[in-house]
Structure 1
Amino acid sequence: MSERRMRDLAARICHLVLRILLPAQGRPRRTVQPACVAAPEPLPVPVTVRRRPTPAREELHRFAEQQIQRAIEQRRLQHERRFALGEAVAGRDHPYSYPGAPFPYAAFVSSPPHQHPR
């Protein structure tokens, strides 16, 4: 086969492959129009729509107050913990206790200072 015929054959094969793989250009082909489909009937809306019960204003106020008090207490405890940590780093005892602690606050107050034996 001559070089020219090989080149023409390769060009035709490339052209055929590209025609198959790439979308068509030019005027769109006429396709069969789909038949008109009627929209389904909308579902009837109930006449009485039940509203979701919402909490009363007093309940919301009470809930907000509880959240505020809880946040204040958490902030106070965090401040006390940081202060106790600073005291511990400085080598001083700080009477720090918390709910559920294995020792009460009074254990710090009534204990005499610890002395090392010599």
Structure 2
Amino acid sequence: MRDRIARTLAWVLSVLASHRPGRHTAKHLSTHPAPAGPVSVNPWSRPWTSPTKDEAQALFRRQAETTLELHVIRERRRAAVLATMGVDYPYTYEGAPFPVSVFATEGSAA
């Protein structure tokens, strides 16, 4: 057991005492050229790659139309559910054949 410990200690000391330069020493840096890393690029030197103003507006319009469509579907479903319970739910949408005031009764305000 003592032999194994002594050999391990001798090996560790020989590794520590080696005269190889470390990666951050002047001797190592003088013999090895600096690695070619990414060159700093000025972000303003590239052309604009994001959507233009017109493209962004078109995207937002499509999102608004989709959201409006989902809102109308939700309103119609809500009206259908309330109708099955016997409740008259006045809802309207653009292009509806009747205004909300037609559905208003004496006890409810639209």
**Which TM bucket (shorter chain)?**
0.3 to 0.5
Q: TM-score, normalised to structure 1's length?
A: 0.44
Higher helix share: 2
Q: TM-score, normalised to structure 2's length?
A: 0.47
Larger CA Rg, structure 1 vs 2? 1
